Structure 1
Amino acid sequence: MATYDPDLTDRLSLALAEAGVLSQFRAVCLRYGPKTPYGAGRLKAKTLASALVAAGASAKAIPKFQVVQFGHQTIGDWTWFGVVHIQTGQVLEVMFEGADGIRSAGSTLHSLCNKAARQRPGIVESGSPYPRPYYDDEPGRLEAIAADLVALIDAIQVVIRDTPGLLD
C-alpha cells in the first residue's frame, strides 16, 4: 500500500491553482450548483459512470459506496484518476488521486483549493461552505456535468505531465 505524501499534495494543489485548474473547478461547481427547490432524482454510480464513458473517459462504478473512478492515466511511474463520490444522491464530491506503488497523493478538489489558498493567499477562492456540483434530472444536465468533469481531470493530468519536478 502506498504512503500518502502530504508535501506532494501541497505542491500539486499549488501547481493546479497556478494553472487556473482549481478556478475552473469552482466555475463548474457554480455552474451546476443546487437549485431551489432541488430537482427531482437521485443519481446512481452506474448512471454517472455511463455518462463519463459517453463523455470520453474510462470509468468504473463502485455502487456499494456510490463512487465512480474515471479518467485513469499513467504519467511517469504514477497512475492518476478522478473520483466522484455521490452524496445524498445529488451532491458530487470530486476528488483526484494518484499513486506510484510507494507514494500516493491527492484529495478532494475542495481540499486542494484550501491547501493552495493557505500556501499563497488569494491564488484561488477557498473556505467553507464551498460549492459542489449537484445532480438533478433536468434533461442534459448529467451529460454536461460529465463532459466538464472529464475536461477538468484531463486539465489536471496535463498540469502534472507538464510541471517539471512536480513528482520528484
Structure 2
Amino acid sequence: RARKKSFVDIIEELKAQAIDPIDDDAATGPAAGVAVNRKSTRVLVVDDNENNLLVMANMLRPNGFEVEMLRSGEECLEFLSARIGTDDVPDVVLLDHMMGGISGVDCCAEIRQYRGMAEHELPILLVTASESDSTMQNGFLAGATDFLQK
C-alpha cells in the first residue's frame, strides 16, 4: 500500500527540487518536472473549502512559491484550458479529492485529456483525508501524480 505524503513532505520535495538542478530523466516523485527556480515555482491550489485554501497558501508562500487559489474543479478546468500553450501554466496542481460539482478525480482525468497537459508535463497531487486504497487507485487511474494527506 502506498503511503500518502504529508503537506510538509511535499513542500520539502518541492523546495529540494527547486534548489538543486536535476537530470529530468532521473527525476521521480511529485516534484519531478517542477521548475528549478523556486522563486518562479507556481502552485495552483484547488479546494472548495476556504480554510483549506488559506492553510495551504500560508504554508507555501513563506517558502517562496507563487500560489493561485481556485474554489472548484470547474474553475480549475477553465483556468488551465485558458493557459494551455502559454507560459502561464502552473508548475504543480494541488487538487482537493472531494469537492462539490466536479470532483478532484474527475477534474484530474479531464486535465489529462487536454492536449499539452500530459502526466509528465503537469504534476497533479490529489489532496485527501481518505485512507481508502480505492481512493488512491481511482486517483492514479485518473492520472494523478501522487497524493497529499490532509
TM-score, with length taken from structure 2: 0.31
If each structure's strand is expressed as a fraction of its own residues, which one has the higher value?
Answer: 1
Choose 1 or 2 for highest CA Rg.
1
